Amino acid sequence: MSQSPLSEWTDEVRVRVREFERTLRRTVEVLRGSSVDVGEYDPAAHEPLVSFSGLVGFEEVDRYWVNAPFAFVSINYDDVENEHRYHVVEPDLDDLEAELLDRLFEDVRDSLVSRRASGDATADGADPEAVLKAELRDLLSVYGVEVDPASFYRLFYYLYRSFQGFGKLDPLMADPHIEDISCDGYDLPLFVYHDEYTDIETNLTYGQTELDNLVVRLAQQSGRHVSIGEPVVETTLPDGSRAELALGEEVTPRGSAFTIRKYADEPFTPVDLIQYGTFNLDQMAYLWLAIENNRSLIFAGGTASGKTTSMNAISMFVPPRSKVLTIEDTRELALYHDNWLSSVTRERRGESADITMYDLLRSALRHRPEYIVVGEVRGEEAMTLFQAMNTGHTTYSTMHADSVQTVINRLENEPINVPRAMIQSLDILSVQTLTYVGDERVRRSDVIAEIEGIDQRTGDLDYSTTFSWRAADDSFRQNDSTILDEIQSEKGWSRAELLEELRNRKRVLRYLCDQEVTDYRRFTAMINEYYAHPERVLDTIELDDGVTTGFD
């Protein structure tokens, strides 16, 4: 039933009265004022900002900071239910601090917007933390409120995580042990994939309005639009993480939802993959030699099997002066390579058309790249990718498939439809799996296969297994390699020379593992040095080891 004009007038008067009261109160506070002088937080001198006494019925098995001294994570275990619980611990606010924080949110936002609109230099280019602290001090002075250092920094933490971070998500986004974050709907606990405790429930939930606002904000922060009319968006967040967003209950009946696959600050290197046991030294030396000699490769596997991570890592073996072009839906690849052109797809904006992977791939061929790296092939771009292989370009990509035969079937059938004669241009298929070794969840290179061409009798595509993983003892078995035979022939090497080259590369990789060279810049620099002066690198390794033998 609609309101009468008198009721509407009365409501408007109430609103104006409240606004007048607020203005009057602010004026009084400005005149009253006080000076807020808070130095840097000192854990030894000031009271702790956070406290946690544990969860009832759980045993705490791990605890670590994600944003010291403001937030830490407590991992708890329930022996009866055989489950872990991920508990975020942040500062507790008393009633006065909670009331202050509500008021500060509005006033800080207005002040920052006003600064930016007026062109204030402190609003752009300055240290956000320093600006926010100064703003907080000024507003507390205006309010005439005196707070101790602990209260000041508790308030600062919540303001900073809201304006510069991801709000309630901030501790999860800051946790280096988390690979992805899942929210399945309103008032449901968030789940994370932890690199040690795997899938684990958290103590964080979002109400309806809060979750809807978060999904809209995440889309806006990444330059995308999400609405009830277009409720599903795949995007890249400002920190590089991949996000799948769904707004409302149109396509996700339990409410707005999101999944964030976190972006590693530093990409994994081949050293990381060897240390994690995904590949061994023999496999990595084989891939290094194959990449240098322009063999095309596809990484396949299920969700979260590490396909893109492995492809990015082995791309560090690309010779230093080669021209590399990468094509992705969402930015994930990171190469330390001087001659690297990166391109990303774009959805339609206004009257402009979509820029798809197919468009970028066609454009890429005009750049005359030697190596083309495509994030994932799913449709028509696969045909262009294989055409590039057939015309002499070295290509790398990923696919969702759990076996060599599944890869071939997907390539040959809808919606990809690559002719069998073109698939034989592919040299190597690496199939990865996310599995268990004992109680530990691990990623392993299940099979590395070589495409050998079409069988003249059956018409089927032939392939051979060069490396395979044995689950029984978590080891890799090696077989003969046609690719290595071809490289030996092309280089004019004897068999002894080929084996010596593989041994040398294993020596380099083992040395990098022993030295824990996991920084991709240092790793790439060492590989490039080997390309330029292999004898010098081997001499350095020999000198550091203090031995001349012992490598196999």
The tens digit of pLDDT for each residue in 320-356 reads: 989 999 888 777 777 888 899 888 877 666 556 778 8
Q: Are 330 and 344 in contact (CB under 8 A)?
A: yes
Please spell the DSSP secondary structure of 145-213, one letter per residue.
----HHHHHHHHHHHHHHHTS-GGGHHHHH-TTEEEEEE-STT---EEEETTTEEEEES----HHHHHH
Asked if pLDDT for residue 45 goes beyond 80, the answer is no
pLDDT band at 381; cut points 50, 70, 90: confident
What spatial distance separates the first Cα and last Cα of the chain, rounded to whole Å? 86
Average pLDDT score over residue span 173-193: 96
At 268-285, the pLDDT tens digits run 999 999 999 999 999 999
**406 Cβ contact list (under 8 Å, min separation 6):** 300
Asked if pLDDT for residue 384 goes beyond 90, the answer is no
- Reported as type and span, the H/E element at residue 309 is helix 307-314
Q: Which residue did the predictor score with more confidence, 365 or 550?
A: 365
pLDDT band at 49; cut points 50, 70, 90: very high
Percentage of the chain modeled with pLDDT above 70: 89
Name the range with the highest mean pLDDT among 8-17, 25-34, 225-234.
Answer: 225-234
* pLDDT on residue 2: 47
Asked if pLDDT for residue 117 goes beyond 90, the answer is no
**The tokens 């752009």 sit on which residue?**
124
pLDDT band at 14; cut points 50, 70, 90: low
Name the range with the highest mean pLDDT among 1-15, 232-246, 476-490.
Answer: 476-490
pLDDT band at 516; cut points 50, 70, 90: very high
* pLDDT on residue 21: 53
Asked if pLDDT for residue 124 goes beyond 70, the answer is no
* pLDDT on residue 183: 97
* pLDDT on residue 111: 83
**Nearest 5 degrees, angle CA 190-CA 195-CA 54?**
60
Q: Compute φ and ψ for 218, nearest 5 degrees.
A: -60, -40
Least confident of 56-60, 156-160, 335-339, 450-454: 335-339
Point out which residues pair with 440 in neighbouring strands. 437
* pLDDT on residue 379: 78
Q: Which residue did the predictor score with more confidence, 321 or 26?
A: 321
* pLDDT on residue 121: 47
Average pLDDT score over residue span 192-218: 95
Spatial separation of the C-alpha atoms in residues 195 and 31, rounded to whole Å: 55
Asked if pLDDT for residue 5 goes beyond 60, the answer is no
Q: Which residue did the predictor score with more confidence, 288 or 460?
A: 288
DSSP character at residue 167: G
Spatial separation of the C-alpha atoms in residues 124 and 128, rounded to whole Å: 9
Average pLDDT score over residue span 202-209: 98
* pLDDT on residue 12: 61
pLDDT band at 64; cut points 50, 70, 90: very high
Asked if pLDDT for residue 389 goes beyond 50, the answer is yes
Asked if pLDDT for residue 35 goes beyond 70, the answer is no
Asked if pLDDT for residue 123 goes beyond 60, the answer is no
Asked if pLDDT for residue 199 goes beyond 60, the answer is yes
DSSP character at residue 198: E
* pLDDT on residue 302: 92
Look at the chain and count its residues: 552
pLDDT band at 380; cut points 50, 70, 90: confident
Asked if pLDDT for residue 20 goes beyond 70, the answer is no
* pLDDT on residue 15: 57
Average pLDDT score over residue span 60-72: 96
* pLDDT on residue 29: 46
Average pLDDT score over residue span 163-189: 95
At 471-501, the pLDDT tens digits run 999 999 999 999 999 999 999 999 999 999 9
